[in-house]
Amino acid sequence: MIYFFLGKGGVGKTTNAAINALRLSKKSKVLIASTDPAHNLGDVFDISLEHRPINIAENLDACEIDYKRVVEEYLKQITIKIKRKYKYLSAFNLDDSLNILKFSPGVEEDALLRAIWSLVNIDIYENVVIDLPPTGLALRIMALPIINEVWLDKLLKARKKIVDTREALKNISPVFADSSQKDKTNTDEVYNELKKIKEENRLIYSRFSDPKSSSIFIVMNIDKLSYAETLRTLDGLRELEISAKTIIVNRYIEPVADDSLSIMRGIKKSFSNYSIKALPYKEGGIIGIKQLNSAEYFPL
């Protein structure tokens, strides 16, 4: 099972991801991974973490994904594939050109998506807890499999035209002469690679959107900005046909001011179809495994 924790920056996603990872580790082997560029998972556990998972408690491993490293590895893999499939370009220095890709829109998100996907497929873990970046970036990552499929469909059509034209020229015949010509795309390396990527994207989306394999938690505070962002997050997830499960009101203090009371009423009304639970405010925060283990939620 994959557990995703979303929310506005600074609302306490990491703390709540850590609490729930520890709870899951009482009964299963768990990995918790921070994907937020501004990592503080290690701070919450009061342990120094690395890019690769390390053991931090019984049945619990943790890591903080190194953004720069995953992008570099991602671009390196792309470079190797391009050089292998387009050998005639080996006379040119492609490295400088491909380095420009790191500045292309969506590259960081796709690299991070692949990093998350590799973590959730490590066989030794029964449950994986993903502490996502702030809402905007998190939703772009969740949307990528759908966006990628649109582009891949276009690329597959374009590649098929190239393959058909190439085969027609081999037979010294006009492109339009033989509509019954056998489809050669299944022997084309580039076409097959695109198909493979498309199938992987479909698998990722089906895994993320299936409530039997993924559970979405949204963390918020009792303030106008956090409340508004939670509403937008739920709208964004609905557009992606991904369902959230639980709303966590973090740093909960019984509302007394008019604004807080109004927001609390809005939370109960707007999120009545979700499980809503609160984590009480603790001065100084919840730091270290002992405090995380002793944290208790209550229903709202």
pLDDT digit string, tens, across residues 247-274: 999 999 998 888 899 999 999 999 999 9
Q: 30-34 and 275-280: which strand pairing?
A: unpaired
For tokens 């501004």, the residue is 38
Please report, as a single letter, which amino acid is at residue 30: V
Cβ pair 113, 120 in contact under 8 A: no
Angular region, 288: left φ>0, alpha ψ -120 to 50, beta rest: left
Show the domains of the chain with their CATH numbers: 2-299 (3.40.50.300)
Q: What is the pTM of this model?
A: 0.86
pLDDT digit string, tens, across residues 145-182: 888 888 888 888 888 888 888 777 776 655 554 545 56
Q: How many residues in total does the chain contain?
A: 300
Q: Return the percentage of the chain with pLDDT > 70, whole number.
A: 87
pLDDT digit string, tens, across residues 91-146: 455 555 556 655 566 788 888 999 999 999 999 999 999 999 999 999 999 999 88
Tokens coding 248: 């966590």
